[in-house]
Structure 1
Amino acid sequence: MTSILMYANWLEQSKTDWWYFPVKKADRCLVRFRGHLIVQRDSGLIAPSTATQRMRDVINFYRWLRANGFLTSDWPLWKEKFVSINFTNAVGFDRTIAVQTTDLAIKNRKLNIEKLEDGLIPVSAEDRDKILEFARDNASWETYLFLMLGFYTGMRIGTLSDLKVETLRRAVPDPQSRDLYKIAIGPGARPSVKTKFGVTGFAWITKPHLELILIYVDSQQRQDRVSKAKEQNKNLVFLTRHGNPYTTGNTEKSSALNVEMHNLRKKSKATGNNFLEGFYFHRSRATFATQLAILLVPIAGVVNALAIIKDALLHKDEATSLRYIKFIERTPAKAKIANEFSRVFLSILSEGRSDDE
């Protein structure tokens, strides 16, 4: 149903009818949607597997429409194909099965893009500051605070949405720094706060950020939302304007925050800024982790930095944390290579122009 919803949203945005199948193949709704998914995949906005699955789901939806007589077309919607897949069964015999597919299917090909945990791509510190400044002036208070906490604590949307007022009030100063506090999160915390894989630990938060969140907790704006909330949700720090949690269950997706981020990107684009293009909330976590690694490695060394990053982001294992360290170690080398390539290439072009002149 998520795939069908994404398809419905695209139909509305592109002003396309779901039954539009003209003679010209390139103009058909499914062909255009396929192209849209490929662009999103190649831009790194969705994973290759997501593009493959969404196209498959939409095609299956149309199979159901045709089978139940809701859609008829004078032209074939797609070309059916059968692909043979060879495999060896449990007792060692080679078997072949035929799988039905179509010419609209999108192959699940991995992109040659360097990504981190959960396929995330960080933004630069400069763009982070621009995003926060723009959100402060153009978004709701809640959206700004979500982004601020994402960028400066690395907590996921599911964790931030489940923060309790007591969680913040019980924050304890870090013994190593008077301006740094720790808040307990995870199923073992009191009160409990949802975390991915049910890991219990501490998230870092600076004193100014903690004070700002506590100001919001006591604000009239939040109290208006609390008045609309169910009793079991009144203690949540963040509630939608209807008094509902931003996420439900164990999901890491928030339709309310997605809508607000979409509106924020539109406002940014309208002002001629592009720093929000392709930005989604979950990238704030990767940005926090990479900036933390940049600060820690020169001071503490790789081994100590690895342990600190693992604790700060509540990773299950060190392999995930190590990706960030390798990422920041490779980045300067890539930048140096790119700059040297540009210098040499531009000098060659300059010499070529001189010869022509």
Structure 2
Amino acid sequence: MIKRAKKLTLSTFVQTEVTTEDADRASRVQLANGSEYFITPVEQLDFEYDEVLGAIQVALPVRFNLYPIVMDSKNVPWAEANIFLLSKIKNSLKVVMSTYTSLASDLVAYRQFLDESEINWIDFPKNKLNRPTYRYRAYLKMLIETDEVAVTTARRRMGSIIAFYRWLHAEGVLIPEFPMWKESDHYIELKNQYGGHYSKHVKSTDISIKSINSNNPYADEIDDGGQLRPLSIKEQKWVLEALLSLANTEMTLIHLCSLLTGARIQTILTFRLHHVFTEIDNPNLFEVRIPVGPKTGIDTKNDKKIVLHLPLWFYQKLHTYALSQRAQKRRQKAVNGDSEDQYLFLSTRGAPFYQSKEDLHRFNKDFSLHHAKTGQAVRQFITEKVVPFIRQRFDAPNFNYKFHDLRASYGMNLTDAQLELVSHGERSLHEAREFVKIRMCHESSATTDLYLQYRSNLKLVRSIATEYDQHLVRLAQTELEVDRS
């Protein structure tokens, strides 16, 4: 069996340094050969909250959960890569470990290339095409051409390796005989959320992988935090019928929450019990507004503060579910038990479907997982249960969807309803646009416009395609008639 470089994830990690026996907080480490040495935790300044004093600066051990380690093909930690990772993490104001896990994966991919190609990663000869950076770029380009990796993935990997070598050079660890790449300065023109233009100075290298942004306004997807496909009303009915037939209460409520509010998966799955614990019975109220984002206990993309608008009937469904024996049994099995701060949605074993940023940031010495919970169970349920059910029940062999498509479906449902009001003169187009923008929590009106234009663009494409197909049919029939004569 061929051994390859790989990434290990440590459930817990505490940085230490070698010290003497009489040092403060020294711990003895006994090796298998009988020798021993002493270590002490490495500390750095951080902030803790005191009920009396508020936020105070204290020295805390450098410690993390779900810490990634880069291993080479000999199953030995790659020292330089791991020190680079640690320096990046320690210099981050707020550690999001998934970011560094991705960086570790990029370093592993590079190490695999080096080991399998037998390339010395610190040797930069005169011929630039033999330098490891240029050879890796050529390798990534080949993977792109053979459709083994996406352009965006290759671009990110190359960027990670450039950052790695920049750090090595800045730290004085690597002073290559010949340049690692050719660098140049230039300015790029950008547009802010208000439509204003500004320039940004960037450094570019000749080994960077360029990707051309080609947003196609006539595609059947919308670029809204990813390429999303709004489900048609018929497809939405298919999904709901499948969920009801599969009889999984949690998955049904999670899907409905996205279809009714446009919330992303991390927002829905980090709802807490106290957010739906208040009983509301007001006949004049038709929706319940729930603030989400920082300091609410509910995560949002980019920590943005927004407000979700839940239909009253759906809020009451969530309230009923929260009080049900089914939900209570799950909470009793969970860490921190049946408390108001517990996640609303839990697995049968009491595990969260998604761990909040706050929970992941908080160090837990008893942490036993080797990966973060980020909604994998929901995606697996869609792939293994919902999609196969729909394909078989409705004879739709090509049907597929991602959970995030439900957000786009909500956006299109909202847009269609607003445009209907515009067509009847009950609302101006500007008012419709602003309403959709606020409900979808878009920072840029340009994203909202994608929803407003989606139906007409798709209709135009299908109309042109149909006309062109009919034109080809007429041409083919004419040629066939000529041949027969």
> TM (normalized to structure 1)?
0.66
The answer as to whether partners of 1:185 and 1:202 remain within 8 angstroms in 2 is yes
Provide the rounded CA distance (Å) in 1 between the counterparts of 2:181 and 2:399: 41
Shift of 1:113: 3.9
Provide the rounded CA distance (Å) in 2 between the counterparts of 1:142 and 1:352: 60
Between 1:239-248 and 1:284-293, the stretch displaced more is: 239-248
Structure-2 residue corresponding to 1:219: 324
Shift of 1:325: 1.4
Structure-2 residue corresponding to 1:263: 384
Structure-1 residue corresponding to 2:292: 186
Shift of 1:238: 1.0
With over 3 angstroms needed to count, the CA separation of the structure-2 counterparts of 1:187 and 1:111, relative to structure 1, is: closer
With over 3 angstroms needed to count, the CA separation of the structure-2 counterparts of 1:266 and 1:119, relative to structure 1, is: closer
Q: Is the counterpart of residue 356 in structure 1 residue 483 in structure 2?
A: yes
Superposed CA offset, 1:269-317 (max 9, x none): 984744553x221121111101211111130332111121122223334
The answer as to whether partners of 1:52 and 1:107 remain within 8 angstroms in 2 is yes
The answer as to whether partners of 2:274 and 2:340 remain within 8 angstroms in 1 is no
With over 3 angstroms needed to count, the CA separation of the structure-2 counterparts of 1:217 and 1:352, relative to structure 1, is: farther
With over 3 angstroms needed to count, the CA separation of the structure-2 counterparts of 1:266 and 1:129, relative to structure 1, is: closer
Shift of 1:186: 2.0
Higher strand share: 2
Q: Which structure 2 residues correspond to residues 208-287 of structure 1 after superposition, within 5 A?
A: 209-231=314-336, 235-245=342-352, 246-249=354-357, 253-264=374-385, 267-268=388-389, 271=392, 273-274=396-397, 276-277=399-400, 279-287=401-409
Q: Which amino acid aligns with 1:281?
A: F
The answer as to whether partners of 2:263 and 2:308 remain within 8 angstroms in 1 is no
The answer as to whether partners of 1:3 and 1:58 remain within 8 angstroms in 2 is no
Provide the rounded CA distance (Å) in 1 between the counterparts of 2:449 and 2:279: 28
Provide the rounded CA distance (Å) in 1 between the counterparts of 2:181 and 2:380: 40
Structure-2 residue corresponding to 1:291: 413
Structure-1 residue corresponding to 2:431: 304
Provide the rounded CA distance (Å) in 1 between the counterparts of 2:148 and 2:416: 32
With over 3 angstroms needed to count, the CA separation of the structure-2 counterparts of 1:308 and 1:218, relative to structure 1, is: same
Structure-1 residue corresponding to 2:440: 313
Q: Which amino acid aligns with 1:295?
A: A
Between 1:293-302 and 1:313-322, the stretch displaced more is: 313-322
Provide the rounded CA distance (Å) in 1 between the counterparts of 2:245 and 2:382: 14
SS of 1:241's equivalent in the other structure is coil
The answer as to whether partners of 1:139 and 1:260 remain within 8 angstroms in 2 is no
Provide the rounded CA distance (Å) in 2 between the counterparts of 1:112 and 1:97: 23
The answer as to whether partners of 1:174 and 1:181 remain within 8 angstroms in 2 is no
The answer as to whether partners of 2:242 and 2:390 remain within 8 angstroms in 1 is no
Aligned alpha-carbon RMSD (Å):
4.5
Q: Is the counterpart of residue 87 in structure 1 residue 193 in structure 2?
A: no
Provide the rounded CA distance (Å) in 1 between the counterparts of 2:236 and 2:307: 26
SS of 2:428's equivalent in the other structure is helix
With over 3 angstroms needed to count, the CA separation of the structure-2 counterparts of 1:217 and 1:268, relative to structure 1, is: same
SS of 1:38's equivalent in the other structure is coil
Q: Which amino acid aligns with 2:453?
A: K
Provide the rounded CA distance (Å) in 1 between the counterparts of 2:482 and 2:471: 17
Q: Which structure 2 residues correspond to residues 318-333 of structure 1 after superposition, within 5 A?
A: 318-333=445-460
Provide the rounded CA distance (Å) in 2 between the counterparts of 1:184 and 1:119: 25
Provide the rounded CA distance (Å) in 2 between the counterparts of 1:36 and 1:141: 44
Shift of 1:235: 3.6
Q: Which runs of 5+ in 1 are unaligned?
A: 9-18, 22-29, 42-47, 62-81, 90-94
Structure-2 residue corresponding to 1:65: none
Decide which of 191, 195, 216 is 2:300's aligned counterpart.
195
SS of 2:469's equivalent in the other structure is helix
The answer as to whether partners of 1:229 and 1:242 remain within 8 angstroms in 2 is yes
SS of 1:185's equivalent in the other structure is strand
SS of 2:311's equivalent in the other structure is strand
Provide the rounded CA distance (Å) in 2 between the counterparts of 1:146 and 1:58: 39
Superposed CA offset, 1:62-116 (max 9, x none): xxxxxxxxxxxxxxxxxxxx86454359xxxxx9986558xxxx75343454433
Q: Is the counterpart of residue 49 in structure 1 residue 147 in structure 2?
A: no
Q: Which structure 2 residues correspond to residues 12-161 of structure 1 after superposition, within 5 A?
A: 34=143, 38=147, 41=150, 48-50=151-153, 52-53=155-156, 84-88=182-186, 108-114=211-217, 115-121=222-228, 122-138=230-246, 140-161=248-269
Higher helix share: 1
Provide the rounded CA distance (Å) in 1 between the counterparts of 2:102 and 2:280: 40
Q: Is the counterpart of residue 335 in structure 1 residue 443 in structure 2?
A: no
Provide the rounded CA distance (Å) in 2 between the counterparts of 1:144 and 1:348: 51
SS of 1:182's equivalent in the other structure is strand
With over 3 angstroms needed to count, the CA separation of the structure-2 counterparts of 1:112 and 1:234, relative to structure 1, is: closer
Q: Which runs of 5+ in 2 are unaligned?
A: 1-100, 109-114, 118-138, 165-179, 188-201, 361-372, 422-426
Superposed CA offset, 1:220-264 (max 9, x none): 332221112233675432123332332321799423323333323
SS of 1:184's equivalent in the other structure is strand
Shift of 1:57: 6.6
With over 3 angstroms needed to count, the CA separation of the structure-2 counterparts of 1:269 and 1:149, relative to structure 1, is: closer
